[in-house]
A = this chain, B = another copy of it.
């Protein structure tokens, strides 16, 4: 368990890194831990309706750059994570999770029928099913929040990237037909010494503006 001040120091230290030091790479063991935090992300029903693409190929990154508002973090960062989310939710998605729960917990799938039906009547055939991609995208954003906080806690810099063209990413990453679409990205690595944004005061509204006690 960490001390509160340690966590807050990490969150104060982090910022949306504008210039990465392209020569500095996240060590393999540290990257492995960050991947594990992604896998451990909590999601609604545990459905994990996403995939994380770690784009390390230089040519692919170069192809993504013009569709990322020209932000050089795409090519200069150590690890570039593209968050994709399911385009729709189907009975197969639910069956896959049920099979996984059954296997991990060593219980018959039939004992999970109530849970299965609850998911089907919500994210597949119910209200959330009508806009399942958006629901899935929100789960991907939980992963984004989790990974940004985890990176800060471990002393790794990051820059969230909403400034990208998802449809162009989908083409370059060959996502068409896979059942997943690009929603957002996160560049990770180490800030360059010359990134003047690192020293700017962090801008947040007053707590009293953002938090109301009822």
Contacts and interface: CB of A to CB of B under 8 A. Distances in A.
A24 B37 CA distance: 28
A100 B205 contact: yes
Contacts of A207: 35-36, 39
A122 B160 CA distance: 16
A200 interface: yes
Instruction: Please indicate which of the listed interface residues A16, A42, A55, A146 has the most CB atoms of chain B within 10 Å of its own CB.
Output: A42
B29 A4 contact: yes
A12 interface: yes
Interface of A: 1-2, 4-8, 10-12, 14, 16, 29-30, 33, 35-42, 44, 46, 48, 50-57, 60, 97, 100-101, 104-105, 134, 137-139, 141-150, 153-155, 160, 162, 173, 184, 200-205, 207, 209-214
A5 B7 CA distance: 15
A38 B145 CA distance: 11
A46 B203 contact: yes
A78 to B, nearest CB: 13
